[in-house]
Structure 1
Amino acid sequence: MRRFYQYVCAAEMHIAKWALAVLTVLVIAAAVMRSIGMPIVWAIDAATFLFAWCVFLGGDIAMRNDRLVCIDVLTCRLPKKYQHYLKIINYSIIVVFLASLIAHGVKLAYTTRLRTFQGIPDVSYTWVTIAVPLGCLLMLITAILKIRNLIQNGYENMPDGECGCPKELM
């Protein structure tokens, strides 16, 4: 199972990188073509699709690599034990929020199944909205794994300065 998860994480990284690269090129090309009077009609729809997937896949990648923005001015001043428990509480709140987003995202994907893109009439808008529950499912797995690791490792094994504060503030 661990090997499968590593494969999913690697695939997620490649998809997010390529989607961002294609999105960038597409938006620039669409702007140039529009300025010379030959707009690419489907570019905004394709950009919407790629952007949605970049956001949710990138969110999981950032969470997995501990690259999410955090404000830790107060938490860095707490003892390691309390920092540890606070992390578990934060990830637990995130788990509940992600589970809610998955449920609502599935409903959203279902309700948009008949809607099509304006510039790509044969493609369902569900391909955009399905990014919400799938991306949140990946983030949910990451959050659960982080909680498990925090519980297994305990606060004694937490390295100094893990909360991201400069050492002089600790």
Structure 2
Amino acid sequence: MKFYDWLGKAEKTIVQALLVIIAVLIFVQAMTRRFGHPISWAMDVSTFFFAWVVFLSADVAMRKNSLVNIDIFIKKLSAKGQLNIKIINYIIIIIYLLIMMIYGFKLTITTYHRKFAGLPWLSFSWATVSVPLGCLLMLITAILETKNLVKKGSETK
């Protein structure tokens, strides 16, 4: 679990840094465009970083149990009912993430020859690999959370 905790801190730090870089790049790109000397690669780098931010931050949110949810009806259930719904929900998430990983790897392979317009030396696959890798990180989180919920359920019996 130490590595898992370290990985979570690393993800959060990377996401924070990338968000700052994206904001600075877009601001600088807008200013240089305003003065007639646009930076052609700034939007491509921002898009590349944004793909990573989306999937890494999704795992950060999942680790903190901060993903958007609607629990109006679930709160009306008993504690055991709520726990069972959470377990079912995580099982559905695990299945979805496995499917996303498969299609994410296929996407990464199919975009291998596609290049960023402003960065012709960079394959678009480096951005699309964020899908299966981010889903793998979320899958680990979902499995660990499901395991904890099942353990919690067996302790309350």
Place the TM-score, normalised by the shorter chain, in its bin.
Answer: over 0.9
Gaps of 5+ in 1: 158-170
> How far apart are the structure 2 equivalents of 1:38 and 1:11?
36
> How far apart are the structure 1 equivalents of 2:102 and 2:17?
28
TM-score by length of 1: 0.88
1:140 and 2:139 are equivalent in the alignment: yes
- Work out whether residues 27 and 43 of structure 1, in 8 Å CA contact, stay in contact via their aligned partners in 2: yes
The change in CA–CA distance for 1:113 and 1:94 in structure 2 (over 3 A counts) is same
- SS of alignment partner, residue 117 of structure 2: coil
> How far apart are the structure 1 equivalents of 2:66 and 2:30?
31
Aligned length: 156
Question: 2:63 — aligned with what?
Answer: 64
- Work out whether residues 101 and 132 of structure 1, in 8 Å CA contact, stay in contact via their aligned partners in 2: yes
- Work out whether residues 80 and 155 of structure 1, in 8 Å CA contact, stay in contact via their aligned partners in 2: no
Q: Which has the higher helix share?
A: 2
> How far apart are the structure 1 equivalents of 2:132 and 2:108?
8
Percent identity between the two aligned chains? 47
Question: 1:38 — aligned with what?
Answer: 37
> How far apart are the structure 2 equivalents of 1:73 and 1:37?
53
Deviations 1:121-143 (A, max 9, x none): 11111110000000000000000
> How far apart are the structure 2 equivalents of 1:155 and 1:119?
55
Question: 1:154 — aligned with what?
Answer: 153
TM-score by length of 2: 0.95
Gaps of 5+ in 2: none
Question: 2:10 — aligned with what?
Answer: 11
> How far apart are the structure 2 equivalents of 1:75 and 1:6?
29
